[in-house]
Amino acid sequence: MLVAGIDVGAATAKAVILNDREVLSYAISPTGFDVVNAANEVIKLALEKANCSMNEIGFIVSTGYARSAVPFANKAVTEIRCHAKGAHFQLPAVRTIIDIGGQDSKVIRVNEKGNVVNFTMNDKCAAGTGRFFEVMAKVLGLDINEMGAVALKSSQPCQISSTCTVFAESEMVSLRAQGKRREDLIGGIHKAAVSRIVTMGKAVGYEREVVLTGGVAKNIGVKKFLEDEIKMEVVIPEEPQITGALGAALLADAELG
């Protein structure tokens, strides 16, 4: 029986279709303003890739900020639980998940069954999230996808005293005016954001294996700075952006027994 998971987040919508717990297809598309439309679009893309129709899907679980707005979902589950399930499926030895999404970041502790035992997430501030990197890339005139590689070239990351997305923007301008090297500026941005996430996660602690998920996991600089900070290897799944949707699909599969 086919099942689907759909994760409509602040920046992107993701859908995964499973057949007997095997990933049949997945899709990622921007969320935009209309979350219902985003959900419809992304599931349509995933169905096309899987060469199947909505009628063949036995159960759908939605997650992400717009989970309750997905009209075709049978059940809505928070992304914390979905990320735990998804990451555990991708790496059964996982005990800590660091998820950095568009507008939030979370550190989730799971047990050997992939059940959440504790979590922490950013409250009101977007520093340490994908949005922070996006804004900084724009200030520096960089493609966001290039940032990680540039950050790795930094030998002396700048001290970014503020990790507030708004104030860090003006701090960037000031540091540029001082003639700081671009790679050190970008290294500093990574260091500041990672430091904020790691500090937040200390409330629940870090235990091996540590998995990094979410769109920001595609930034190789973040992985490196995280590893330096927590002194542990950080594993990135093959497609880290779909972990939540994958978890939702696994929960959908469990619903059908």
Partner 1 sequence: MYYDELLRLCGYEPEEIENERTRIEKALEKLELTPKDIDRGVKRVSQYFDIELTSIRKMMGLWLKSLIDLVLAREEREKIIYCAAPPFPQLANAMVMVSKEIFVTSPEVTVSQTLGGIFDKLNPVLEAAEGDLLPAGLAYCSGLQVRLGGIIKGVIPVPDLLVSSGFVCDETPKLDELVSKRYGIPVAYVDGVNDELEERWPRVSDKRIEYIAQEARDALAIFEEVTGYKVTEEVSQRANERSADLLTRGNRVLDLIRSADPSPISFVDMGIAFRLATRVANTTTVSTDTGGLVDLLYRELKERVDRGEGVLPKGAPRIAMGLPWTEPTGARVIDEAGLAVIVDMTTITELERIPSEYEDYWERSAEATLRFCGIKFARRFKQICKEWGVDGAILNYPIGCRDLCVAPVKSRDIIMKELGVPVLLLECDHIDTRDYSAEAMRNRVEAFAEMLKAAKAAKTK
Residue appearing with tokens 């050997």? 112
d(CA 17, CA 25): 5
Q: Judge contact between 220 and 148, C-beta under 8 A.
A: yes
Q: Judge contact between 114 and 21, C-beta under 8 A.
A: no
- 189-208 binders of partner 1 (CB under 8 A): 203
Binding segment (CB under 8 A) for partner 1, from list 89-97, 118-126, 167-175, 218-226: 118-126
Instruction: Select 117 or 256, whichever has its Cβ closest to partner 1.
Output: 117
Q: What are phi and psi of 185, to 5 degrees?
A: -65, -45
- 11-70 binders of partner 1 (CB under 8 A): 65
Binding segment (CB under 8 A) for partner 1, from list 45-53, 78-86, 148-156, 241-249: 78-86
Instruction: Select 36 or 117, whichever has its Cβ closest to partner 1.
Output: 117
121 binds partner 1 per the rule CB under 8 A: yes
Among 22, 123, 143, 238, binds partner 1 (CB under 8 A): 123
Sheet of 57-63: strand order equals 22-30, 12-19, 2-8, 57-63, 75-76
Q: Judge contact between 10 and 215, C-beta under 8 A.
A: no
Binding segment (CB under 8 A) for partner 1, from list 33-41, 115-123, 127-135, 239-247: 115-123
d(CA 161, CA 159): 6
Quote the least distance from Cβ 149 to partner 1, whole Å.
32
Interface residues with partner 1 (CB under 8 A)?
A: 65, 77-81, 115-119, 121, 123-124, 203
